Amino acid sequence: MIDFKVTYKSKKSNARIGILKTPHGEIETPSFVGVATQAVVKTLTAQEVKKANSQILIANTFHLHLKPGEQYLKKAGGIHKFMDWDRPLMTDSGGFQVFSLGFGRDHGVGKILKEKSDLVIKSGKKPKNVKITEDGVFFRSPKDGQKLFIGPKESIKIQESIGADIMFAFDECTSPVADYFYTKKSLEKTHRWAEICLKSKKTDQALYGIVQGGKFEDLRTESAKFIGSLPFDGFGIGGEFGDEKHTMTDMLGFTLPYLPYEKPIHLLGIGHLEDIPEIMKAGIDTFDCIVPTHYARHGVAFTSEGRLDMRKSKFLTDKNPLDKKCGCETCQNYKRNYITHLLKADEITGLRLMTMHNLYFFNAYVEKLRNDIKKGQL
């Protein structure tokens, strides 16, 4: 189980400082949650992730079910022992894959549209590669095409075998181009699944319910009221957030007031650097995002000077660290010229050094914002 306590409330916004205690230690919130999809932050060891000051990670239930299979994690003594991570850890439910392998793949869209779209998913429309039923979802494995089924009961059973501190209820993550009626029908299903998840849970792991409803204010409010009334240990805010950044902050504004104040709230899959202050000011306690690690693997470093594309040849003559103000091991030991050489030579060490830096940078940025809250500046 977990214990959560708000220790400070901002007078300027809805931001708050808290302590989230889990069986594997406690974290200070708000906190960035690093993504360890397959029980690993890509290219890094657990010890290196710790050196980047990560307090907590989130792994992917769907992918761990595919490989190696939750039975192997259970035999290993749980995911913490399996990956040598002794700090708090979450597992998502597999609900995001309902979208990413379904309409997300069909239409080539993410949770926030990068540009306006004429696409519309109407009630009754079905994705090509997943079959969504009242009981759960039939997937085609991206590994070998094998047909598999995950519903609320199955998701909880898998997550219990994986053994994370915090689990999430199974849901349908809707597309940003889903219309009102599709989203409403999907929401009703998610609510039914939430109740089944609670009834299916057999361990003392914490379980978060997930608020859905897309970009529609009344559906988000309805979902927050319903999910917030159920005996979950915390809450996740999932789904899509329209085609404009402000839609996300608007959505948080009419969702969070209906969730129990005394319980932790997690924002699923959102965390671009420019989003983080608004996320924290809204009152979010934890949030996960692949941005720092994904961008690192594409040669982009986040620095106090802004983003740097380290694949550019101009950095081959640059003897400065990635960021003079950064305390990460990469910046303390290596220069831009060397990192650019490694990236151009397709050496895995280049990706490792970039990932260590970006993860450290994000964690340091969130720590700075936490201090700003304590100082009354956020």
What are the sequence ranges of the domains in the chain?
Answer: 3-289, 306-350
**What class is the 3-289 domain?**
alpha beta
- CA-based nearest residue to 160, from 273, 86, 65, 39: 65
Q: Specify the pTM.
A: 0.93
Whether 336 contacts 309, CB under 8 Å: no
Q: Verify whether residue 135 is a known catalytic residue.
A: no
Peptide bond into 231 cis (omega under 30): no
Whether 358 contacts 298, CB under 8 Å: no
Structure confidence at residue 175 (pLDDT): 72
Long-range contacts of residues 310-314, Cβ cutoff 8 Å, at least 24 apart? 310/336, 310/339, 310/340, 310/343, 310/354, 311/340, 311/343, 311/344, 312/340, 313/340, 313/344
Structure confidence at residue 219 (pLDDT): 95
Whether 63 contacts 35, CB under 8 Å: no
DSSP-derived pairing of the beta strands 31-35 and 286-288: parallel
| Residue 55 DSSP class | -
User: How many CA atoms lie within 13 Å of 149's alpha carbon, on the beta-carbon side?
Assistant: 8
Strand arrangement, sheet containing 137-140: 131-132, 137-140, 147-150
| Residue 178 DSSP class | B
Q: Verify whether residue 218 is a known catalytic residue.
A: no
CA 128 distance to own-chain centroid: 25
- CA-based nearest residue to 355, from 378, 324, 322: 322
Catalytic residue among 165, 275, 285, 288: 288
How many C-beta atoms lie closer than 10 Å to residue 179's C-beta?
A: 16
Q: In sequence order, what are the beta bridge partners of 178?
A: 121
Which three-class secondary structure state does DSSP give residue 237?
strand
Whether 158 contacts 131, CB under 8 Å: no
Structure confidence at residue 244 (pLDDT): 61
Mean pLDDT of residues grouped by 10 in the chain (378 residues)?
Answer: 97 97 98 98 98 98 94 98 98 79 56 55 68 86 80 97 98 81 92 98 98 92 98 91 71 94 95 93 97 97 97 98 98 98 98 98 98 97
Which three-class secondary structure state does DSSP give residue 16?
strand
- CA-based nearest residue to 236, from 275, 200, 287: 287
Structure confidence at residue 50 (pLDDT): 98
Which three-class secondary structure state does DSSP give residue 224?
helix
Catalytic residue among 92, 165, 171, 275: 92
Whether 22 contacts 58, CB under 8 Å: no
